[in-house]
């Protein structure tokens, strides 16, 4: 048996493209670490609901969504660095790669300092309790948001490490870092339940500070060992390279803003239209279906920088074969999501008991949302890797506008509630499903011209 396994492993090594083999290895690492992260996330839900209350938990989910949006307010610097850094590494220009990393840290640091100053100036003028539709007092909300937002700004700077690892096609290492951060959040949250109850500021502190600690230690270890040749240095910051990062980065940024509208404002809209309790119900179903969304992302996203490398080396054959492979995996995802919808109710009961009741139609609409999201993910992975962003910006803007308009129409006017808000996102994502897929096929066939090649 051992000889058979050894033979199959040797055959795989000899017949698989080195670029694909590296992705497969990182995907295996990612699956294990992400499985751990999802397990942590699932354990956190009932733990947090019991620590707070159903209504306060809904407010907490809304606050978390608001601060998570800040991850995308990086002016696209992270993704711009990812593409430019991958190109430099493919050309074996280590000096340029290190300069790009150093410059990205410099830009990011300045941007986040400016953002923190702006937040301090305006925090007292925003009616947070009214905005969040909650009875929690204004002073406590200000303190919670201050902790969350300042911590997120610091995390964004430290997150440059993850973009460097992704550009090197080391997504497995990124997911290990995320697992460690999530694990620390779980441990500290459990510790909170042992000596306090319903203290939102304590929960905010452990949730915000745990990832910072893990990223800080990880950065020190990586830049002193495996990434020492790319270690950021103040003396290597070159503002002339800032333009090359930002020229691509601002397009990523615009797409990220639209991504926020589709993926993160649903919580805010549901909270505003139907209250915090409705957010709790939506959040449970959303987390459940995001499991398969996350797993497919683990497989697809590592190909982003691999497509950048393949494009730099004009390896069209590999790109076409990889696209076919990804769409076969998507067909498997459709089957898995269908089963998840069928068995959703027993899973909810096993997971959160009678704490929350999720309507069948909400589960079905989220299933559709996951299916179309991951269809779009394949095309966007290819287009991002090739640096073809302009058309993506156009239909991303159309998606954002369509999503908001239809969410209000379906959710409020037609009275479909949270299900209507989700279905609005499904319809809005059709812009990318059609235009993005057409552009990808034209680029791979070499027939793209005009705006299809932008």
Evaluated on CA atoms 75, 76, 81, 87, the torsion sign reads: negative
- Alpha-carbon distance 448 to 340, whole Å? 38
- Alpha-carbon distance 79 to 81, whole Å? 5
Range picked from 27-36, 111-120, 353-362 for highest mean pLDDT:
111-120
Determine the average pLDDT of the residues in 286-310.
84
- Alpha-carbon distance 39 to 33, whole Å? 10
Candidate from 105-119, 209-223, 295-309, 391-405 with smallest mean pLDDT: 295-309
pLDDT score of 3? 53
Determine the average pLDDT of the residues in 214-228.
92
Per residue in 15-45, pLDDT (tens digit) is 566 667 677 776 776 777 777 887 888 788 8
- Alpha-carbon distance 326 to 318, whole Å? 12
Q: Residues of the chain with pLDDT > 70: what percent?
A: 93
- Band (pLDDT 50/70/90 cuts) for residue 72 is low
Cβ contacts of residue 261 below 8 Å, gap of 6+? 399, 400, 403, 404
3-state secondary structure of 263: helix
pTM of the model: 0.71
**How many C-beta atoms lie closer than 10 Å to residue 416's C-beta?**
19
Q: Please state whether 355 falls in left (phi above 0), alpha (psi between -120 and 50) or beta.
A: alpha
Torsion of CA 37, 39, 45, 50, to 10 degrees: -120
Candidate from 64-68, 78-82, 340-344, 437-441 with smallest mean pLDDT: 64-68
Candidate from 49-63, 80-94, 205-219 with smallest mean pLDDT: 49-63
Distance from the first to the final alpha carbon of the chain: 52
Tell me the DSSP string of 414-449: S--HHHHHHHHHHHHTHHHHHHHHHHHHHHHHT---
- Supply the mean pLDDT for the chain: 83
Contact 303, 23 (CB under 8 A): yes
pLDDT score of 73? 66
Rg (CA), the chain: 22
């Amino acid at each position: 048996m051992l000889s058979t396994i050894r033979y199959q492993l040797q055959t795989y090594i000899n017949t698989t493209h080195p670029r694909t083999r590296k992705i497969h290895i990182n995907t295996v690492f990612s699956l294990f670490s992400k499985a751990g992260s999802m397990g942590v996330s699932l354990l956190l839900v009932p733990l947090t609901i019991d620590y707070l209350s159903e209504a306060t938990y809904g407010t907490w989910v809304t606050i978390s969504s608001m601060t998570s949006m800040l991850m995308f307010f990086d002016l696209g610097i992270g993704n711009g660095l990812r593409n430019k850094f991958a190109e430099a590494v493919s050309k074996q220009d280590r000096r340029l790669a290190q300069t790009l990393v150093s410059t990205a840290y410099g830009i990011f640091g300045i941007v986040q300092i400016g953002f923190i100053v702006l937040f301090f100036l305006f925090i007292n003028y925003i009616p947070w309790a009214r905005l969040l539709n909650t009875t929690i007092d204004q002073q406590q909300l200000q303190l919670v948001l201050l902790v969350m937002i300042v911590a997120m700004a610091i995390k964004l700077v430290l997150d440059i490490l993850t973009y460097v690892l992704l550009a090197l096609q080391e997504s497995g290492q990124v997911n290990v870092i995320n697992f460690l951060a999530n694990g620390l959040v779980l441990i500290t949250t459990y510790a909170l339940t042992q000596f306090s109850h319903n203290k939102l500021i304590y929960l905010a502190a452990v949730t915000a500070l745990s990832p910072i600690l893990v990223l800080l230690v990880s950065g020190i270890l990586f830049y002193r060992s495996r990434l020492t040749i790319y270690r950021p240095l103040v003396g290597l910051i070159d503002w002339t390279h800032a333009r090359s990062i930002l020229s691509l980065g601002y397009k990523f940024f615009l797409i990220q803003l639209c991504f926020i509208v589709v993926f993160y404002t649903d919580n805010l809209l549901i909270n505003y239209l139907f209250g915090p309790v409705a957010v709790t119900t939506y959040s449970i179903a959303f987390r459940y279906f995001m499991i398969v969304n996350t797993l497919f992302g683990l497989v697809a996203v590592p190909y982003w920088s691999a497509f950048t490398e393949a494009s730099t080396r004009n390896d069209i054959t590999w790109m076409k074969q990889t696209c076919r492979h990804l769409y076969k995996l998507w067909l498997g995802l459709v089957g898995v999501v269908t089963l998840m919808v069928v068995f959703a109710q027993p899973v909810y009961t096993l997971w959160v008991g009678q704490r929350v009741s999720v309507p069948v139609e909400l589960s079905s609409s989220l299933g559709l949302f996951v299916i179309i999201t991951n269809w779009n993910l394949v095309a966007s992975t290819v287009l991002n890797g090739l640096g073809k962003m302009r058309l993506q910006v156009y239909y991303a803007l159309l998606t954002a506008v369509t999503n908001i308009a239809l969410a209000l129409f379906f959710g409020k006017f037609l009275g479909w509630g949270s299900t209507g808000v989700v279905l609005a996102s499904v319809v809005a994502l059709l812009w990318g499903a059609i235009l993005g897929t057409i552009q990808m096929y034209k680029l791979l066939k070499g027939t793209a011209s005009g705006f299809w090649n932008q």
